Structure 1
């Protein structure tokens, strides 16, 4: 029996490397006819994958394996009865790195320095450090805990908010009290940096509206690495 697998780019096929006997790998980006009518595992393109799922209509597909954590809009476009898996646990590390990078870049005013450098100006300024800042993590799943682990060495004061209140033991950080989302409004005014790592969906859509933003302290930094809406 041969297992037929498709990936959207030649680079991804190369990165997979050698495959065991019985696995047939094809590069298929959904813009050309499929390599077979029966596909055991299909990996859609990373960007814009949801909109291209109609290319699977009429095919016999064992599993659609997304490259993204989110699955917004998939149910509306995926052919009926076709199994789908998101890429939970794949992007947590890189997204957490991005969140910490954005905090450092903003606190240290890197954009200002880059613009001054482009103008050929020497423009020193006293920038804020990340150390000693009060950081509120809104969303405490895989990405939120990943951010907490990477923030720990920066000597910040961390508070977390999630859908449900709980106490979590995070490797490299220790015990973190996670507040319920109903406490968000009360916690916001004390935070100097607010980091969003929220999932998509109706529960989080427009969660940070003008009223919630208005509860933030003047001069506080908002970093959003969550899902689109």
Structure 2
């Protein structure tokens, strides 16, 4: 029996063209028609939320493998008895690297310096730095851990990690529970969001949270857009009180006429933290291994739903 597998990239078609497997090129974002009947779906997260329901209409579907860490978007569209895996281990490094780039670009005011370059204006600018800063990191999963490891060489004065449950990490540092977070905000220079989107984290970064941050502090979000109350953040940015560096937004994609685009002291990248050549290689290798394992009835890595 041939396993029919929907894949979004030609590279995956080429690598999965092997006996017993029939790869079918179909992209959840780009294809005008719903997917043909298939056993396995390998997919990216749809950029258009309205397309997420296409997963529920795939006849014969038995397994979904996500080319990402985040899986919350697919749960309500997953047919009964369909298993689910993600790409844990392939995404974290790229996301952490992008997070560091956002932090440094914002603290060192590269947007302003770039403007000066275009104007041929040689004016030295005094900036902030990670060295000596107090940093609050929300998230102690794979991405959060990779971000933390990249921050340490920059010698922050303090680096405090928060997650859902309080514990001591295997590397020996303490992770505080999120309900203790507010006491750390008034002195934090940088607050980094690397949390998943759940009912508990929905609009965790609200007006009260933002107002507790000190003047001039930087909010960085590489988690999910809905964790931050966009309107509350926009008010703080327009008042000139806070800075922001966002790889994710709410709504997403951000409409062209949205006020966040032109807000002062705000860097926006279009949910591209994982978009590197190395990520593509890692995530493709994992996807191929998952499909082959599924075809042979073997145990899958990164099982979210069995």
TM-score range relative to shorter protein:
0.7 to 0.9
Contact 2:93 2:146 in 1 (8 A): yes
Residues 1-229 of structure 1: pairs in structure 2 closer than 5 A: 1-14=1-14, 17=15, 20-30=18-28, 31=31, 32=33, 34=35, 37=37, 39-48=38-47, 51-54=51-54, 56-57=56-57, 59-156=59-156, 157-170=158-171, 175-229=172-226
* TM-score (structure 2 length as normaliser): 0.66
Mapped to 1, the partners of 2:108 and 2:160 lie a distance apart of 22
Cα distance change on mapping 1:56 and 1:153 into 2, 3 Å: same
Shift of residue 11, structure 1, vs aligned partner = 4.3
Mapped to 2, the partners of 1:220 and 1:11 lie a distance apart of 43
Mapped to 2, the partners of 1:43 and 1:105 lie a distance apart of 34
Mapped to 2, the partners of 1:176 and 1:20 lie a distance apart of 46
Shift of residue 122, structure 1, vs aligned partner = 1.5
Off by >6 Å, runs of 4+ in structure 1: none
SS of equivalent to 2:100? helix
Contact 2:163 2:178 in 1 (8 A): yes
More strand by share: 1
Contact 2:107 2:130 in 1 (8 A): yes
Mapped to 1, the partners of 2:75 and 2:199 lie a distance apart of 14
Mapped to 2, the partners of 1:191 and 1:60 lie a distance apart of 51
Contact 1:54 1:78 in 2 (8 A): no
More helix by share: 2
Shift of residue 85, structure 1, vs aligned partner = 2.5
Q: 1:31-56: CA deviations, max 9, x gaps?
A: 34645x3x232112443376244255
**Residue 303 of structure 2 aligns with which residue?**
none
- What 5-or-longer segments of structure 1 have no aligned partner? none
* TM-score (structure 1 length as normaliser): 0.86
Contact 1:40 1:62 in 2 (8 A): yes
Mapped to 2, the partners of 1:58 and 1:25 lie a distance apart of 15
Contact 1:63 1:82 in 2 (8 A): yes
Mapped to 1, the partners of 2:220 and 2:99 lie a distance apart of 7
Shift of residue 20, structure 1, vs aligned partner = 4.6
Q: Provide the aligned length of Structure 1 versus Structure 2.
A: 221
